[in-house]
Amino acid sequence: MPPASSRPRPTLLDVAAAAGVSKSLVSLALRGDAGVSERTRERILVVADQLGYRPSLTARTLKQGRSMLLGAVISSLDNPYHTEIVAAVEQAAEAAGFSVVLAHGSRERGRLAGRVQQLLDLGVDGLVVVSSWVPEEVLVTAARRAPVVMVGRTATPVAGIDSVNNDDEQGAALVVDHLVASGHRRIAHVTSSTRPAGIARRSGYEAAMRAAGLGAEVRVVRPEPAALDALVQDGTTAVFARNDVEAVDVLDHALDVGRRVPADLAVVGYDDTMLARRARPALTTVQQQRDVMGTRAVALLRERLDGRTDDVHEVLEPRLVVRASA
Amino acid sequence: MPPASSRPRPTLLDVAAAAGVSKSLVSLALRGDAGVSERTRERILVVADQLGYRPSLTARTLKQGRSMLLGAVISSLDNPYHTEIVAAVEQAAEAAGFSVVLAHGSRERGRLAGRVQQLLDLGVDGLVVVSSWVPEEVLVTAARRAPVVMVGRTATPVAGIDSVNNDDEQGAALVVDHLVASGHRRIAHVTSSTRPAGIARRSGYEAAMRAAGLGAEVRVVRPEPAALDALVQDGTTAVFARNDVEAVDVLDHALDVGRRVPADLAVVGYDDTMLARRARPALTTVQQQRDVMGTRAVALLRERLDGRTDDVHEVLEPRLVVRASA
DNA sequence: CTGAAAGCGCTTACAG
DNA sequence: CTGAAAGCGCTTACAG
């Protein structure tokens, strides 16, 4: 007996032969075409099932020119923010009848470009990019082959590519306003980011500080031990970190040097990932509407597939989630 | 002008026409067949490039019956142990000329079964399963369509399916022996797992304790606050947790109730994920040979594709990584 | 060294 | 309600 896995899979023709009909009829019956009698369909379904028939998506895709497959690209698998977005995209895609294949690039530009190419070669009908590391020219080239939507912001809008992201400036303002309302004045911003979202959060922080009359207190610091040490000792009472990961670093450092959070130092993050819930004390943070982002990303792709040609950039409102750290 | 993304992609026929040759020749030239003159190949490559030609993997797969695609299935995206294994598989696959598509099941049996089906329908040449949650009958059915390799153990070997995993019993023994050598006698095991690997680590712990003459000290506890409290207060001096995630929980709890680690309580994990390096104090843990696991998983799949029919189960030796926590 | 032809497994008008 | 035929974009013997 040959190895089980080399047994050739049954085709439409096998089912047709076993059911004593033509293969066109099998195809029609399987997809529930109205012009097939109930009894015939029934019989064909039973035969197909007995044979363990599964339609070849490869053949169908070749014929239809559509794969019903969406590609999702993320920088790396180890950032909960990105994987949580992808989960939302998958859910929305599934609801729309698409499957999602996932690719990541270990945060390397070259790898990411390669993965985009690979997904395109695989025949995806559209691409969701959840990474600011994909080079712009790669996005532009990709968009000539299939619609592309960016989740999260690029430095400047890329022609031909839709986007959906949250309003980082407003998110930063929510944080600053919350801290000010709690009586803080010496509020520092911790960031190591050169990415567009990081830059937006930083400028949102600065604008909100000025708006609160605290322009003189603006202080931006990198999440490094020496800088954090200085910060803890110079009278800073609150820290807004550019994301949950860096907020947790601040948290750990503060506790290490004997500061209490939030009594001595209030700490706020961004993204509302699982890190925020797991942190101790639990992290006050900014939540993006992940489900909506996923739904809108898929919807934008479908509109492109239906022929839309003008670019759409959607901006969603974030909201503050107050927990124990601030 | 039509939307960029709807511009039909060039085919072999377009390239042939533009180069003034037959499409067979283009196919041969593109894949570097020896029987095509250097000058002709050169010219064809240039034309293909100008047209932005990319071969259709869909058509190629349909014709060849092979996709050069491997599927990887993991329980969920939020477990660093699983995603780090997948990265190793991807690297090995790439080196062997395969691409990898990744699917996850949010730790739900039904979803996981669906993802396996989906990858198979996509036409993958083989499946790497990094999840003990995929129902056994799903694995068996899948193996009739394509070779399947389990990374990590199943409760009992599944006929027709290869596996590669580390020796959990030995890993547990390494931990116990290390703790005993450091003078510990009251060594508890923390676990919440009902999975095969968890069970193996637990029995490895028990066996090693008995072998060290500490059979009377065997103590197995769930990672829950009440149980951990009792443990911290009853003279236990060391804890071996079934994985890094639960070790970090123990760590946090011990520090919360004012115990010093490792002075008052030594803590050891398993898996050597990024959590272990990030923990404070950094976690002593057991490292599996992830790269080797990835390489062997891909190799086993290729052997099956080349016709091997008997089952192979590989067991790799883990090693202890001593850091600050024990 | 090069071309004409068949076929992978589907779907979809087109006839009947 | 059902069948014969063309074609999606490739690869691969087979001729020349």
pLDDT digits (tens, 9 = 90+) for A218-241: 999 999 989 999 988 889 999 999
In the predicted model, what is the mean pLDDT of residues B174-187? 98
Q: How far apart are CA A116 and CA A180, in angstroms?
A: 44
Chain segment B222-247, per-residue pLDDT in tens: 999 899 999 888 899 999 999 999 99
List of residues 6+ apart from B167 with CB closer than 8 A: B315, B316, B317, B318
Query: pLDDT value at position B89?
Result: 96
In the predicted model, what is the mean pLDDT of residues B29-43? 84
All CATH 3.40.50.2300 domain ranges of chain B, comma separated, are: 67-165+290-317, 168-287
The Å distance, CA of A305 to C1' of D4, is: 33
Chain segment B100-158, per-residue pLDDT in tens: 999 998 788 998 999 999 899 989 999 999 999 999 999 999 999 999 999 998 888 99
| B127 token code pair | 């499946």
Query: pLDDT value at position B7?
Result: 60
Q: How far apart are CA A232 and CA A259, in angstroms?
A: 8
The Å distance, CA of A119 to C1' of D7, is: 25
Residues of B in contact with A3 (CB under 8 A): 304, 307-309
Residue type, A2: P
Q: How far apart are CA B154 and CA B200, in angstroms?
A: 11
Question: Chain A 251-270, CB below 8 Å of chain B: which residues?
Answer: 252, 256
In the predicted model, what is the mean pLDDT of residues B46-61? 91
Query: pLDDT value at position B5?
Result: 43
User: Is A3 or B264 the better-scoring residue by pLDDT?
Assistant: B264
In the predicted model, what is the mean pLDDT of residues A63-78? 92
In the predicted model, what is the mean pLDDT of residues A91-109? 90
All CATH 1.10.260.40 domain ranges of chain B, comma separated, are: 4-55
In the predicted model, what is the mean pLDDT of residues B304-317? 95
Q: CA nearest B220: which of B186, B175, B250, B190? A: B190
**Which CATH fold would you assign to the domain A68-166+290-316?**
Rossmann fold (3.40.50)
Radius of gyration of chain A (CA): 26
Q: Which residues of A113-127 are buried (b: 16+ CB within 10 A; e: fewer)?
A: bbbbebbbbbbbbbb
Q: How far apart are CA A115 and CA B56, in angstroms?
A: 16
Query: pLDDT value at position B106?
Result: 77
Closest nucleotide over all strands to B60 (CA to C1'): D10
**Would you say residue B262 has pLDDT above 90?**
yes
The Å distance, CA of A21 to C1' of D7, is: 22
Query: pLDDT value at position A259?
Result: 92
Q: What is the DSSP letter of A68?
A: -
Which superfamily is assigned to B4-55 in CATH? lambda repressor-like DNA-binding domains (1.10.260.40)
Banded model confidence at residue A295, pLDDT cuts 50, 70, 90: very high
SS3 label, residue B246: helix
Share of chain A above pLDDT 90, in %: 73
User: Contact at 8 Å (CB) between B52 and B82?
Assistant: no
Residue type, A249: D
Query: pLDDT value at position B244?
Result: 95
Which superfamily is assigned to B67-165+290-317 in CATH? Response regulator (3.40.50.2300)
User: Is A65 or A1 the better-scoring residue by pLDDT?
Assistant: A65
**Which CATH fold would you assign to the domain B168-287?**
Rossmann fold (3.40.50)
Query: pLDDT value at position A7?
Result: 60
**Would you say residue B6 has pLDDT above 80?**
no
List of residues 6+ apart from B137 with CB closer than 8 A: none
Contact across the interface for B80 and A78, Cβ inside 8 Å: yes
| A196 token code pair | 């567009």
Average pLDDT over chain B, rounded to an integer? 92
Cα–Cα–Cα angle for A198, A271, A105, nearest 5°?
A: 70
Banded model confidence at residue B4, pLDDT cuts 50, 70, 90: very low
φ, ψ at B162 (rounded to 5°): -80, 165
Q: CA nearest A56: which of B178, B84, B64? A: B64
Contact across the interface for A56 and B62, Cβ inside 8 Å: yes
Banded model confidence at residue A5, pLDDT cuts 50, 70, 90: very low
Dihedral Cα A128, A129, A130, A133, nearest 10 deg? 180
Chain segment A124-144, per-residue pLDDT in tens: 999 999 999 999 999 999 999
All CATH 3.40.50.2300 domain ranges of chain A, comma separated, are: 68-166+290-316, 168-287
| A291 token code pair | 């489900």
Radius of gyration of chain B (CA): 26
Q: CA nearest B254: which of B279, B225, B274? A: B225
Share of chain B above pLDDT 90, in %: 72
